[in-house]
Amino acid sequence: MNIVIVSMHSCPMGIPGSSDVGGMNIYLNNLAANLSELDNNVWIFTRSHEGCTYVKKQPESRFQLIHFEIGNPDTDKYDLYDYTEEFALLIKEFINVNSLMVDFIYSHYWLSGIVGENLSKSFNIPHFVTFHTMAKTKSKFLPGNSEHPNRQRHEKRVMDSASYIIALSYVESMDIQNFYDISEEKIMVFPPGVDLQNFYPIDKTSAKNTLGIKSHNSVLFVGRIDPIKGIDILLEMAKILKEKIKYQLIIVGGGTIKSKELIELQAKIDTNNLSGDVILKGSVPHQQLRTYYSAVDVFVLTSFYESLGFVLLESMACATPVVASNVGGIPTLVKDSQTGFLIDGNNPKSFAEKVWQLLIDNKLNYKMGQQGLKKARLMSWTQMTIQMNSFFKKSIH
């Protein structure tokens, strides 16, 4: 098959944890690589940016990443709405100039959905879409959250016009049905996988030494520095946990240490008297995360909403137990009190209690880590992509 993937606002080969680079990017990178290994030709179209980790493939490669310059380098994500038509025209020109025979469009996020809808109509080919986050779910879990005024309207329009909507969990499927009045028959659920070649347990002592972690008890958070990730809850948890045990919380993500997000976060850390207890690392190359997951004792995710929570799966693949918010698609991965702990209501006290429990109880920590590892090994990207590939083939013929 010849597949065009649209990721207008964010490049799949950006550095995870930097601005607008998170689980969706990891998803796209793994999906495209695995689809190409199943004898498909894949083109991903995204905007030009600094810090791309993509190594240009040879012309005969089945996976090509194409960057287009739109707006300015500092154009805000939501202002890209004004460039959706231009972006679609650039893709059309590329397809026509290179005489590509495209079988279907697969777009990601609402901005790309607008572009995908345009391309689908122009070439009269199927359009599949995954939203990753949606305006109405963000508003539900994060009241007062500011969104583009046209986002909800376009999400509904793209859902109505698309051939299929691909959800990452059954919870996300239900949200689409309930919030946007979409028929269940139009939604397919394909949970993503984890790259087991890059994420696996390594010796904890060796990992700690590599990273220079001296604390006996260590906790990790990986993600964008964004309100939806519950960063304030994370800091509240850190304050409560500090009263119970001597430990260190490591936060990975947020771009460079000099980024606006991390400067503001460091100020909050200082204000809360957590300097020395909470360490900011900034964003790190994705391959290095295995060392972080393996070095720490507990992984924590305080998000108000996650369509799935890729970082949880990566931590589990490294046999490190997780404590996470009981929201969105997270319960798809984490079975409470077995593969980790789920926290209701984003209660910082409950987060602190469960993290503390895993820090002081080595047997429980090991048991949950091993159960999480078993779960992760059942969700490899290879297995997940084979299922999606079969669905795509049936849908376009």
User: ∠ at Cα 190 (189, 193), nearest 5°?
Assistant: 150
Q: Which residue has the higher pLDDT, 140 or 303?
A: 303
Q: pLDDT exceeding 70 applies to what percent of the chain? A: 95
Take residue 104 and report the two structure tokens written for it.
Answer: 């279907």
The model's confidence at residue 158, banded by pLDDT at 50, 70 and 90, is very high
322 SS3 class: strand
pLDDT score recorded for residue 53: 57
Is residue 171 domain-resident? Answer: yes
Take residue 175 and report the two structure tokens written for it.
Answer: 């949200």
Q: Is the pLDDT of residue 50 over 70?
A: no
Specify the DSSP element, H or E, that contains 88: helix 84-97
Is residue 124 domain-resident? Answer: yes
Q: Which residues contact 394 (CB under 8 A, 6 or more apart)?
A: none
| Residue 235 sits in the same domain as residue 113 | no
pLDDT score recorded for residue 20: 59
Q: In what order do the strands lie in the sheet with 127-130?
A: 63-68, 41-47, 2-6, 104-108, 127-130, 164-167, 187-189
Residue 355: beta bridge partners? Answer: none
Q: Is the pLDDT of residue 344 over 90?
A: yes
User: Could you tell me the pTM of the whole model?
Assistant: 0.86
| Residue 208 sits in the same domain as residue 144 | no
Is residue 226 domain-resident? Answer: yes
Question: Residue 210: which CATH number?
Answer: 3.40.50.2000
The CA distance from 235 to 293, in Å, is 20
What does pLDDT average to over the chain?
91
Please tell me the total count of domains within the chain.
Answer: 2
Is residue 13 domain-resident? Answer: yes
What count of other Cβ atoms lies within 10 Å of the Cβ of residue 164? Answer: 19
Give Cα 141 distance to the centre of its chain.
17
> How many H helices and E strands in the chain?
15, 13
pLDDT score recorded for residue 58: 53
Can you tell me which residue has the tokens 């969105």?
Answer: 328
Stretch 84-89: mean pLDDT, rounded? 96
CA dihedral sign of residues 318, 324, 326, 327? negative
Least confident range from 85-94, 303-312, 349-358: namely 303-312
| Residue 134 sits in the same domain as residue 59 | yes
| Residue 132 sits in the same domain as residue 237 | no
Is residue 198 domain-resident? Answer: no
| Residue 18 sits in the same domain as residue 150 | yes
| Residue 104 sits in the same domain as residue 243 | no
User: ∠ at Cα 14 (255, 86), nearest 5°?
Assistant: 115
Provide the domain limits for residue 177: 2-193+380-396
Least confident range from 48-57, 215-224, 285-294, 334-343: namely 48-57
| Residue 210 sits in the same domain as residue 176 | no
| Residue 318 sits in the same domain as residue 368 | yes
| Residue 188 sits in the same domain as residue 227 | no
| Residue 221 sits in the same domain as residue 267 | yes
Q: Which residues contact 258 (CB under 8 A, 6 or more apart)?
A: none
Q: Is the pLDDT of residue 103 over 90?
A: yes
Least confident range from 56-70, 104-118, 166-180, 250-264: namely 56-70
| Residue 249 sits in the same domain as residue 187 | no
Q: Is the pLDDT of residue 18 over 80?
A: no
Q: Is the pLDDT of residue 61 over 90?
A: no
Long-range contact set of residues 67-73: C-beta below 8 Å, sequence gap at least 24: 67/11, 71/47, 73/48, 73/49
| Residue 225 sits in the same domain as residue 360 | yes
Q: Which residues of 17-54 are buried (b: 16+ CB within 10 A; e: fewer)?
A: bbbbbbbbbbbbbbbbbbbbebebbbbbbbbebeebeb
